């Protein structure tokens, strides 16, 4: 006979089931299914840590573009102007400026137009 409910075996199962707490149906209750679910969750988490950065950049660009268009300028011309004017602001800070401080953003647009 093979021992199937020893301490090590039980702890391994408990660890997986603890990780899948909050999942739906058998994915949280059944060890074999939960093991697959946990593995998949880790894969998605790894992928999405990279994708999150990508998605935020897209959001920042969309915000900057919208704010630039209000000032009668396209995004690409604005960024080219920012580079030429040697304004050391990244897209994240430019987008936050466009949302929270439109007056300062208008000034940056003016400088970019001049360049």
User: How many structural domains are present in the chain?
Assistant: 1
Q: Has residue 1 been placed in a domain?
A: no
Q: Please name the helix (run of DSSP H) or strand (run of DSSP E) that holds residue 38, with its range, or none.
A: helix 31-70
pTM for this predicted structure:
0.74
Q: Which of 23, 58, 15, 13 has its CA nearest to residue 44?
A: 23
Residue 47 lies in a domain: yes
CATH number of the domain where residue 26 is located: 1.10.1900.20
Instruction: Tell me the average pLDDT across 62-86.
Output: 93
What torsion, rounded to 10 degrees, do the Cα atoms 82, 85, 89, 94 define?
-40
Residue 2 falls within a domain, yes or no? no
Is the residue at 20 inside a domain? Answer: yes
Reply yes or no on whether the pLDDT at 58 is more than 90: yes
DSSP secondary-structure letter at 27?
A: H
- Structural domain that includes position 78: 7-114
Read off the pLDDT of each residue in 55-70 and give the average, rounded to a whole number: 95
Domain assignment present for residue 106? The answer is: yes
């Amino acid at each position: 006979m093979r021992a199937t409910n020893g301490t090590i075996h039980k702890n391994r199962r408990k660890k997986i089931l603890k990780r899948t707490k909050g999942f739906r149906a058998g994915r949280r209750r059944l060890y074999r299914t939960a093991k697959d679910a946990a593995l998949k969750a880790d894969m998605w988490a790894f992928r999405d840590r990279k994708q999150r950065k990508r998605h935020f950049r897209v959001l920042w660009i969309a915000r900057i573009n919208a704010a630039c268009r209000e000032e009668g300028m396209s995004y690409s011309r604005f960024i080219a102007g920012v580079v030429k004017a040697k304004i050391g602001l990244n897209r994240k800070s430019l987008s936050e400026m466009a949302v929270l401080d439109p007056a300062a953003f208008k000034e940056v647009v003016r400088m970019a137009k001049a360049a």
